[in-house]
Amino acid sequence: PSRWAESEMEHLGIPAESMTANATIDPDPGRYNIMQTEERKHFFKTPTVRNVALTAPYMHNGVYATLEEVVDFYNRGGGWGIGIEEEYQTLPPDPLGLTNREQEALIAFMHTLTDSRFQ
Domain ranges of the chain: 8-118
What percentage of the chain exceeds 90 in pLDDT? 59
pLDDT of residue 13: 93
User: Which of these, 52, 54, 59, 58, lies nearest to 13 by C-alpha position?
Assistant: 59
Q: Look at residue 8 in the predicted model and tell me its pLDDT.
A: 77
Q: Give the pTM.
A: 0.87
pLDDT of residue 25: 95
Query: How many Å apart are CA 112 and CA 119, to the nearest integer?
Result: 12
Task: Indicate the SS3 state at residue 17.
Answer: coil
CATH architecture of 8-118: Orthogonal Bundle (1.10)
Angle at 45 between CA 10 and CA 28, to 5 degrees: 80
Average pLDDT over all residues of the chain: 89
Rounded to an integer, the average pLDDT of 58-83 is 96
Q: How far apart are CA 21 and CA 64, in angstroms?
A: 15
- With a cut of 90, say whether residue 21 has pLDDT above it: no
Q: What percent of the chain has pLDDT over 70?
A: 93
